[in-house]
Amino acid sequence: MSPELKNTDQTGKKYLVPAVMKAFDIIEFISERGQASLTDIYKELQLPKTSAYQIINTLQERGYLLYSPDRGSYSLSFRFLGLGNRVLAGLDLRDEAQPILQKLMGEVRQTCHLAVLEGFDAVYLAKAFYAGSAVINSWVGKRLNLQTTAMGRILLAWRNPEQVLELLHRNPPVQRTPKTILDPLKFMETLPQVRERGWAEENGENVVGLRCLAAPVRNVSGRVVAAMGISGLSAEITDQVIPDMSAKLLQAADELSRRLGYLPG
């Protein structure tokens, strides 16, 4: 059957299979707990004991659950890891990001980028260009200094200080504008604020008159693997529009993170 198949009937009611829903509830419950007994499962999820046992027994028979007689509990098997690795192998970060960037670009009416850490630089992996934007000197594959950009702040903020200093030492910035921060220790003082509010800002530190906001993109393990950013004129990305613009940016970055398997919390 094609992906275009309707998932609802003529009344708009969704076709859902209760047993499958319960199976995923059990899987997610065990995943959160690490392990759980039959009693824990059917009581916490408020399932009939017989139904819970039948589903658990089926999952165990298919190799997705392991039972420990010593603890009297069930845990997920490595079969899930195999499935996850196959999904990750099939994901193309650029393909997943492009429609999200295009949507974000339309909402904020500024050019949007996705960047990853490669070597000692941030590198643009994808771009959604806003017609009429002043940000014309950017392209997929362009390399950015980590210390002078909002993208760089995001890619560094969740790394340990030793890694950050090593990366900054390997590719120190030049004085591109009067606002460029050259001292790596002074730059590192900006990173706690990035982690606290969840997004980064650069205002005229890399190019005079340009401002950029950036937010983290995380993979299934919660590691920051990319930065999503909005770039435009400082006269357009003003302090007044930043609250709304940063909220839209965070929403877009979270959407991409979820596509990569990240579950907040």
**Tens of pLDDT, residues 155-173:** 999 999 999 999 999 889 9
- The pLDDT assigned to 90 comes to 54
- pLDDT at residue number 4: 43
* pLDDT higher than 90, residue 82: no
pLDDT of residue 136: 66
Architecture per CATH, 91-259: 2-Layer Sandwich (3.30)
Whole-number pLDDT of residue 89: 57
For residue 85, what pLDDT is reported?
Answer: 63
Convert the pLDDT of each residue in 189-233 to its tens digit: 999 999 999 999 999 999 999 999 999 999 888 999 999 999 999
Q: If you average pLDDT over every residue of the chain, what do you get?
A: 89
Domain ranges of the chain: 18-86, 91-259
> What topology is assigned to 18-86 in CATH?
Arc Repressor Mutant, subunit A (1.10.10)
pLDDT in tens, 113-157: 999 998 889 999 999 999 877 766 788 888 899 999 999 999 999
Instruction: Label each residue of the chain as H, E or C.
Output: CCCCCCCECCCCCECCCHHHHHHHHHHHHHHHHCCECHHHHHHHCCCCHHHHHHHHHHHHHCCCEEEECCCCEEEECCHHHHHHHHHHHHCCHHHHHHHHHHHHHHHHCCEEEEEEEECCEEEEEEEECCCCCCCCCCCCCCEECCCCCHHHHHHHHCCCHHHHHHHHHHCCCCCCCCCCCCCHHHHHCCHHHHHHHCCEEEECCCCCCEEEEEEEEECCCCCEEEEEEEEEECCCCCCCCHHHHHHHHHHHHHHHHHHCCCCCC
User: What digits encode the pLDDT tens for the residues 174-192?
Assistant: 998 999 999 999 999 999 9
Q: Output the pLDDT for position 88.
A: 58
